A = this chain, B = another copy of it.
Amino acid sequence: MADLIAEVFAARLGTGDPPGDDAAQLDAAGRLAFTTDAFVVDPIFFPGGDIGRLAICGTVNDLATAGAKPLAISAGFILEEGLPIADLERIVGSMAQTAQEAGVRVITGDTKVVPRGKADRLYICTSGVGQIAEGVTISGANARPGDVVLVSGPVGDHGLAVLSQREGFQFESDIISDCAPLAEMVQDLLAAVPGVHVLRDPTRGGLATALNEIALQSQVEIEISESMVPVQPSVAAACELLGLDPLYAANEGKMVAIVQPEESMAALAVLRAHTHGADAAVIGAVAGRSQGRVLLQTALGSHRILGRHVGEQMPRIC
């Protein structure tokens, strides 16, 4: 069994360098980004992706939020006894393909098997190391009054795709996860727009939560306009039906960028030039100093506070 599992990984992800050792090696110089994520999404296959693609995208995108180019990824697997090898093969294959798409390799890993019932088929933990170019200082703490807020495309697709698949809703076929590695798009952005202050991928808790985190870290007030936030009609309809708010639904292939006002149009153009940012939009601005607050201008023109995500709107979405 152990040999079989090892073969599944070796055939798809290759082996680290040097093969057979407990630690892989890489060369680096300067500032590195380091990040980790645990993935427990249910179900493990969903429209537009699977837990393997999700695990690679999540880690690549977390590195991208620091402006880092991914150098290497590690993957730890917790497998439930009885997981069909075909499912594992499909997931590991998906990881390999996504890693290739992101221009990175999975260079080290570990596998544990737990008894039947003790994991939902499988959990995956990925970590990533990325290189931050000289002069790049991206942080959630860097938003300044006057800055412009952009999002790289419509929000809520991932959350609704997983939820629909899990619950067997009729509209599931219309809604597809946006799960995508954004390293290349972010590198394009940084190359063209030196005045990028903040990057954040709005995953668990969605756009509203990401903006609240940034507002708090930077001690600013962010104001966004509801009508400027792109939402797919199918996602909006599903949210209405289920009483959910797309602003709090998870995304796995979107990036929030906060940039100097004079560079906002350049930033928008660069995002739109990339496949993963074709529907990018300016959605608001940093209004001023505050204790950390997000204001939403509703479609009707009124304002309301867009609070932090309270409770778990959608459990096990990633």
B27 touches A23 (CB 8 A): no
Q: In the assembled complex, which residues on chain B have CB atoms less than 8 Å from the CB atom of A29?
A: 28-30
Known A114-B120, A316-B114; judge A74-B25 contact (CB<8 A).
no
A25 touches B32 (CB 8 A): yes
Tell me the smallest distance from the CB of A209 to a CB of chain B, in Å. Answer: 11
Q: Which residue of B lies closest to A138 (CB)?
A: B21
A118 within 8 A of B: yes
B74 touches A23 (CB 8 A): no
Q: Which residue of B lies closest to A38 (CB)?
A: B76
A107 within 8 A of B: yes
Interface-located stretch among A90-98, A123-131, A231-239, A259-267: A123-131
A110 within 8 A of B: yes
Q: In the assembled complex, which residues on chain B have CB atoms less than 8 Å from the CB atom of A30?
A: 27-29
The distance in angstroms between the C-alpha atoms of A114 and B34, with both chains bound, is 25
B23 touches A28 (CB 8 A): no
Contact code string A47-76 (vs B, CB < 8 Å = 1, else 0): 000000000000000110110100010111
Q: Which residue of B lies closest to A77 (CB)?
A: B38
B110 touches A21 (CB 8 A): no
A24 touches B20 (CB 8 A): no
Contact code string A1-29 (vs B, CB < 8 Å = 1, else 0): 01000000000000000111111111111
| Contact residues of A: prevailing secondary structure | strand
The distance in angstroms between the C-alpha atoms of A72 and B27, with both chains bound, is 16
B140 touches A21 (CB 8 A): yes
The distance in angstroms between the C-alpha atoms of A108 and B37, with both chains bound, is 9
B127 touches A20 (CB 8 A): no
Tell me the smallest distance from the CB of A49 to a CB of chain B, in Å. Answer: 17
The distance in angstroms between the C-alpha atoms of A270 and B256, with both chains bound, is 53
The distance in angstroms between the C-alpha atoms of A200 and B22, with both chains bound, is 8
Cβ contact of A34, chosen from B129, B139, B140, cutoff 8 A: B129
A269 within 8 A of B: no
The distance in angstroms between the C-alpha atoms of A111 and B318, with both chains bound, is 11
B36 touches A110 (CB 8 A): yes
A130 touches B23 (CB 8 A): yes
The distance in angstroms between the C-alpha atoms of A114 and B114, with both chains bound, is 15
Q: In the assembled complex, which residues on chain B have CB atoms less than 8 Å from the CB atom of A312?
A: 2
A31 touches B27 (CB 8 A): yes
A32 touches B26 (CB 8 A): yes
Q: In the assembled complex, which residues on chain B have CB atoms less than 8 Å from the CB atom of A213?
A: 20
Q: In the assembled complex, which residues on chain B have CB atoms less than 8 Å from the CB atom of A88?
A: none
Tell me the smallest distance from the CB of A271 to a CB of chain B, in Å. Answer: 19
Q: In the assembled complex, which residues on chain B have CB atoms less than 8 Å from the CB atom of A62?
A: 22-23
Known A20-B216, A120-B118, A217-B20; judge A78-B25 contact (CB<8 A).
no
7 nearest A-B residue pairs (beta carbon): A125-B125, A127-B127, A36-B74, A38-B76, A23-B33, A23-B66, A23-B35
